Amino acid sequence: MRVVALGGGTGLPVVLRGLRRYLSASGRITAIVTAADDGGSSGALRRQFGVLPPGDIRNCLTALARVAPEVSAALQYRFDGGEAQHPVGNLLLAALDMVAADEVTAIRLASELLGVDDLILPSTTERVHLVADLLDGRSVHGESEIPKSGTPIRRLRIDPPDAAAAPGVFEALREADAIVLGPGSLYTSLLATLVVPGVAAAVVGARAVRIFVCNAMTERGETDGYGVAVHLEALAAHGVAPEALDYVVVNTTPIPPKVRAHYAAEGAGPVDPDFVLPSAPPVIVRADLLEPGPVVRHACDKLGQILCDLAARRLEWA
């Protein structure tokens, strides 16, 4: 089985851990990772050295690494870099980016160092910036600036608008048995990969089963007040209509009142799961998906098993 997962942030590594745990050893994963991050350590390294932003790639490498836990912890260890604290993994990727033949080769070399058998690709190797066109007519430039706008997002795009997808992206989507979209920041992680020219069309045109994992919580400045239906509307506005999906996976785990109150203080709340689709597909899969604790996160064990079961079901029909 060949599974492609798109996105970034904290959501994509959870998907990768879950898939790797439940896929057979012969199964192959390709992660297509946003390349538009411009904040924190990634932004500082990007500005100073002109490298691809390494943070999301580092997290995916760590999720798939087959090394001692201490090595994974060392990759996440942060040194004070002046403008930002730099994780060791970011510095490693930046250095490889500067000495390797190209960016994809740099990531492959890092994968070999960490025993990663799967493939991690940036959505594009061009130095792109996100641009959000807002409902009030303004445009906000930069991934880190978008959540600060205080105005709903009408559409996301990239600058330059003709940036090409990275080598291997279209091939991976064309050969996939399953494609997983989300969870993660809807605009600055997931849609940031889909707005690279040709990527959304390749997802829709693939023979794979297409699975959208909806976020459990809204995100201040990006998805304020969004329910599942509005998440699907945003996907449709960027080239992936609901009928192009086979499954929408929705969380049903109750969120404790204290946790809800903490998130409410930060301007976030549970994503409303109540919605009705005018027709099928997609099939709605409602499940207990969250791990316990004060942070609302998808549990890799729960999510990985569901994703692999859905992908295998399609293979049985084929």
Domain count, the chain: 2
63 located within any domain: yes
Query: Are 203 and 290 members of one domain?
Result: yes
For residue range 108-132, what is the model confidence (pLDDT) as tens digits? 999 999 999 999 999 999 999 999 9
pLDDT at 315: 60
pLDDT at 176: 97
Query: Are 264 and 295 members of one domain?
Result: yes
> Is the bond into 282 cis (omega within 30 degrees of 0)?
yes
For residue range 233-287, what is the model confidence (pLDDT) as tens digits? 999 999 999 999 999 999 999 999 999 999 999 999 999 988 877 777 899 999 9
End residue of a domain, out of 70, 97, 122: 122
134 located within any domain: no
209 located within any domain: yes
The pLDDT mean for the chain works out to: 95
- What's this model's pTM, rounded to 2 decimal places? 0.96
Query: Are 245 and 202 members of one domain?
Result: yes
Question: Please, which contacts does 148-157 make with residues 24 or more away whose CB atoms are closer than 8 Å?
Answer: 148/221, 149/221, 150/221, 152/224, 153/187, 153/222, 153/234, 154/237, 155/237, 155/238, 156/130, 156/131, 156/132, 156/187, 156/191, 156/192, 156/195, 156/238, 157/130, 157/131, 157/133, 157/195
Q: Which parts of the chain sit beneath pLDDT 70?
A: 314-318
pLDDT at 214: 97
- Are 287 and 252 a contacting pair, CB within 8 Å? yes
Query: Are 298 and 185 members of one domain?
Result: yes
286 located within any domain: yes
Query: Are 271 and 239 members of one domain?
Result: yes
pLDDT at 273: 86
For residue range 72-81, what is the model confidence (pLDDT) as tens digits? 999 999 988 7
pLDDT at 269: 96
Query: Are 117 and 204 members of one domain?
Result: no
Query: Are 167 and 110 members of one domain?
Result: no
pLDDT at 277: 77
pLDDT at 314: 64
